[in-house]
């Protein structure tokens, strides 16, 4: 009998499956690919289609962490969406007599833009599930401001009419729409 060759490469070996729970779907797929798993499927925990893997987090898996598998073993990841598209639709009233200043617009402490007085402004952002804070400051005096807290649970639109007075900013006709 001749010599039998064996290989200890990762492609031929059994692989210990690691826990993917809590990882973004993108990170979980990268980790599984690095371990050479080739039969990985994923789905949403609801009727949604997964378009952007970065917006989803792994909540369960078909394989128990620590199980030793062949690279062709089927693995299924179930995911929930944790980031959504959120649109801002802001109408800024023109006030020619008392308050013709611009507004600095912030979301969660990050400056988004300066909205010129009397201009219409729109903005699309990626937002995590949970409560967020929109703040509008008078550009020349940060003590003059208006704040709105809004919750993100799905794709949506923050719609409002902004109005300025000398020492006041009003957020009128405010509503959250369930679509972008």
Q: What is the pLDDT along the chain (180 residues), one digit of tens a residue?
A: 445 444 455 455 788 999 999 999 999 999 999 999 999 999 999 988 998 999 999 999 999 999 999 999 999 999 999 999 999 999 999 877 777 899 999 999 999 999 999 999 999 999 999 999 999 999 988 899 999 999 999 999 999 999 998 889 999 999 999 877
> Using H for helix, E for strand and C for coil, what is the string for 7-43?
CCCCCCCCEECCCCCCCEHHHHHHHHHHCCCCCEEEE
First to last CA, the chain: 71
**Which helix (H) or strand (E) segment is 51 a member of?**
none
DSSP 95: -
């Amino acid at each position: 009998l001749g010599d039998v060759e064996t290989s200890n490469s990762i492609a031929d070996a059994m692989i210990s499956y690691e826990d993917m729970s809590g990882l973004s779907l993108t990170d979980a797929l990268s980790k599984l690919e690095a371990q050479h798993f080739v039969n990985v499927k994923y789905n949403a925990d609801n009727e949604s289609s997964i378009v952007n893997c970065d917006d989803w987090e792994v909540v369960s898996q078909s394989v128990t962490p620590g199980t030793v598998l062949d690279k062709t073993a089927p693995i299924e990841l179930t995911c929930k969406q944790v980031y959504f598209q959120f649109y801002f639709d802001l109408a800024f009233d023109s006030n020619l007599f008392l308050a013709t200043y611009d507004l600095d617009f912030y979301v969660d402490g990050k400056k988004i833009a300066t909205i010129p007085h009397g201009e219409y402004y729109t903005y699309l952002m990626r937002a995590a599930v949970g409560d967020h804070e929109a703040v509008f400051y008078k550009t020349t005096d940060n003590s003059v401001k208006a704040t709105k807290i809004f919750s993100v649970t799905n794709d949506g639109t923050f719609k409002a009419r902004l109005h300025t007075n000398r020492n006041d900013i009003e957020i009128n006709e405010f509503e959250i729409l369930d679509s972008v």
